[in-house]
């Protein structure tokens, strides 16, 4: 059976490469008894893949039990999974079989596996390694033959580092990993899913299906969908029930999509129509670029300053050169510094004389290019020492080799 037939059988909509890959891996691993760990964000449809694995395995005629580990209280989850003996705890009025005993010969799907308590993780590891477990309140070892498929929206590596999940259990569960892509990485599938949900709700509520205008479709595709398919389905149902007009434009659609959540907005694309939220996001992006440029410029200035100060003999360059660079720091940083920023760092220089540099308009209008300043300093040093590069290098506080390289790089004559 090919991927398209599997999609039709299990109601999967979409043609994204990541989705097709996940389906292919599920079918390939199904005939084996390997444990499978399905990872993906909440709402991506992870619950479909354990069913694919079960239906295409030799256990398809056995039991299939899905357990949401995050929905079971910590105090009762061991009893739910492994069963308990009568009198094992208050309220245990009779013996009870757990899911692993009920699913013997079949498949058990453990959703939200990352929420399991550590004590329960130890019990589960024993089931995976030896096929053995004990009921709560019992010392009798029972056997079970169960295929385990787990799913989580938790970053497991982070949970392991924080001590919330056992590393040995993680590697035992993820014999074969299946990764479900988020909806934002399935751009071509978003409108297909919307149309499918719109027709489903039209049939359910006996009304015409809603349709999107071109600008509304663009809004739909540009949104990041943090809630993935579940969020898209929910919004489609809201629009289908609330809106009287079956033709939905961008203005109506934005009333249902929480664009105020800035982190979920995409980068601005070329469009003749921009909402206020669009401009807000564009402004935030520009601010970030400017601050990144400021940081890069400061790093470059510090690098050049250190290079000019630290010569082969550890000497510093002369007062006027040092103060030019220092003034460059103070002027450029002061121009772009916000009112709440810390004052610029003052870089000490070894001077024989104090030369006051006036903060005039003429100086501010000079070139602030670091390359231009380097060329100017090198030319001055060569001129001062009549073209003798050894003495010029000592004057600048750099090695002769560095000076030769920079003369060649900047094509300086002298």
Q: Which residue has the tokens 């890959």?
A: 21
pTM tops 0.75, yes or no: no
In order, the DSSP letters of 5-54 are HHHHHHT-----HHHHHHHHHHHHHTTS---EEEE--TTS-TTHHHHHHH
Q: Tell me, rounded to whole angstroms, the distance of Cα 37 from its chain centroid.
A: 20
Domains annotated for the chain, with CATH where assigned, are 3-181 (3.40.50.300), 184-266 (1.10.8.60), 280-410 (no CATH)
**Cβ(165)–Cβ(156) below 8 Å:** yes
Q: How far apart are the C-alpha atoms of 15 and 188, rounded to whole Å?
A: 8
pLDDT tens string for the chain (414 positions)? 688 899 999 999 999 999 999 999 999 999 999 999 999 999 999 999 999 999 999 999 999 999 999 999 988 999 999 999 888 888 888 888 999 999 999 999 999 999 999 999 999 999 999 999 999 988 899 999 999 999 999 999 999 999 999 999 999 999 999 999 999 999 999 999 999 999 999 999 999 999 999 999 999 999 999 999 999 999 999 999 998 899 999 999 999 987 544 445 444 444 444 444 444 456 566 656 666 776 777 777 776 676 666 554 444 444 455 555 555 555 544 444 444 444 444 444 444 444 444 444 444 455 556 777 788 888 888 888 888 888 888 888 888 888 888 888 878 876
Q: How confident is the model at residue 74, as a pLDDT? A: 87
- In the prediction, which pLDDT does 350 show? 46
Q: Check residue 367 and give its pLDDT.
A: 57
Per the document, the length of the chain is 414
Give the per-residue SS3 of 328-385.
Answer: HHHHHHHHHCCCCCCCCCCCCCCCCCCCCCCCCHHHHCCCCCHHHHHHHHHHHHHHHC
**pLDDT at residue 395 in the model:** 82
CA 358 to chain centre: 49
Q: Specify whether the backbone of 311 is left (phi greater than 0), alpha (psi in -120 to 50) or beta.
A: beta
- The sign of the dihedral angle between the CA atoms of 321, 322, 323, 325 is positive
Residues 6+ apart with CB under 8 A from 118: 164, 166
């Amino acid at each position: 059976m090919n991927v398209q037939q599997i999609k039709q059988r299990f109601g999967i909509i979409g043609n994204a490469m990541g989705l097709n890959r996940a389906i292919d891996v599920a079918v390939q691993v199904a005939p084996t008894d390997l444990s499978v760990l399905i990872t993906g964000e909440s709402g991506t449809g992870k619950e479909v893949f354990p069913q694919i694995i079960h239906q295409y395995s030799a256990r398809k005629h056995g039991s299939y039990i899905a357990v949401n580990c995050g929905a079971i209280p910590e105090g009762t989850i061991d009893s739910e999974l492994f069963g308990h003996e009568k009198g094992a705890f208050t309220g245990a009025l009779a013996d009870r079989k757990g899911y692993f005993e009920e699913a013997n010969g079949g498949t058990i799907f453990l959703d939200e596996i990352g929420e399991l308590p550590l004590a329960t993780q130890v019990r589960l590891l024993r089931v995976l390694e030896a096929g053995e477990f004990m009921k709560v309140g019992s010392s009798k070892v029972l056997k079970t033959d169960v295929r385990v498929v787990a799913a989580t929206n938790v970053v497991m590596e982070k949970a392991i580092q924080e001590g919330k999940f056992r590393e040995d259990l993680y590697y035992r569960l993820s014999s074969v990993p299946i990764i479900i892509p988020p909806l934002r990485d399935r751009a071509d599938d978003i409108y297909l899913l919307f149309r499918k949900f719109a027709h489903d709700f039209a049939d359910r509520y006996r009304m015409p299906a809603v349709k999107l205008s071109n600008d509304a479709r663009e809004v739909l595709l540009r949104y990041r969908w943090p809630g993935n398919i579940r969020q898209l389905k929910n919004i489609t149902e809201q629009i289908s029930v609330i809106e009287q007009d079956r033709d939905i434009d961008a203005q109506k659609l934005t009333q249902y999509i929480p664009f105020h959540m800035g982190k979920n907005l995409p980068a601005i694309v070329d469009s003749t129509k921009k909402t206020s939220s669009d401009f807000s996001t564009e402004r935030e992006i520009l601010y970030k670029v400017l601050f990144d440029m400021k940081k890069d410029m400061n790093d470059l200035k510090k690098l050049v300053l250190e290079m000019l100060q630290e010569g082969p003999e550890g000497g510093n360059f002369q007062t006027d050169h040092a103060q030019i660079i220092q003034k460059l720091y103070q002027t450029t940083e002061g121009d772009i510094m916000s009112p709440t920023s810390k004052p610029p760092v003052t870089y000490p220089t070894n001077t024989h004389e104090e030369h006051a540099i006036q903060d005039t308009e003429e100086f501010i209008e000079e070139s602030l290019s670091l390359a231009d300043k380097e060329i100017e300093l090198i030319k001055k040093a060569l001129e001062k020492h009549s073209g003798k590069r050894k003495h010029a290098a000592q004057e600048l506080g750099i090695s002769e080799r560095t000076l030769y390289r920079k003369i060649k790089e900047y094509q300086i004559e002298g």
